[in-house]
Amino acid sequence: AQTVTQSQPEMSVQEAETVTLSCTYDTSESDYYLFWYKQPPSRQMILVIRQEAYKQQNATENRFSVNFQKAAKSFSLKISDSQLGDAAMYFCAYRSQGGSEKLVFGKGTKLTVNP
């Protein structure tokens, strides 16, 4: 079974600085999809970014980018120019390419942004 590990329960960053959240996963599959979700205090789960395992190019969405290292099974999230609104829980998630509908989540990293 696939597992997702987020080794940093909490992180903090100064406003306007850059922070990287770590995520590693364990799988024997070669094709799969990876996601980062943000959960602010409002509890809403918001998609931040997604990556297809077959794509070598790292995904980017405005200030958010990933460092996808397939061989190392690593999928870190970099937030540039951090803003107060970035403060939230961040969850890394994995989905198999076919068959299973299950999204496997990590336990999350709580990000604090200091003014």
Partner 1 sequence: NAGVTQTPKFQVLKTGQSMTLQCAQDMNHEYMSWYRQDPGMGLRLIHYSVGAGITDQGEVPNGYNVSRSTTEDFPLRLLSAAPSQTSVYFCASRTGQGHNSPLHFGNGTRLTVT
Q: Which residues bind partner 1 (CB under 8 A)?
A: 4, 33, 35, 42-47, 50, 52, 91, 95, 97-98, 101-103, 105-108
In this complex, which beta carbon is closest to partner 1, that of residue 28 or of residue 42?
A: 42
In this complex, which beta carbon is closest to partner 1, that of residue 42 or of residue 57?
A: 42
Contact 49/62 with Cβ under 8 angstroms? no
Specify the pairing of strand 88-96 against strand 24-26: unpaired
| DSSP helix/strand/coil, 38 | strand
> From the CB of 58, what's the least distance to partner 1, in Å?
15
Q: Retrieve residue 101's tokens.
A: 């509908």
> From the CB of 14, what's the least distance to partner 1, in Å?
27
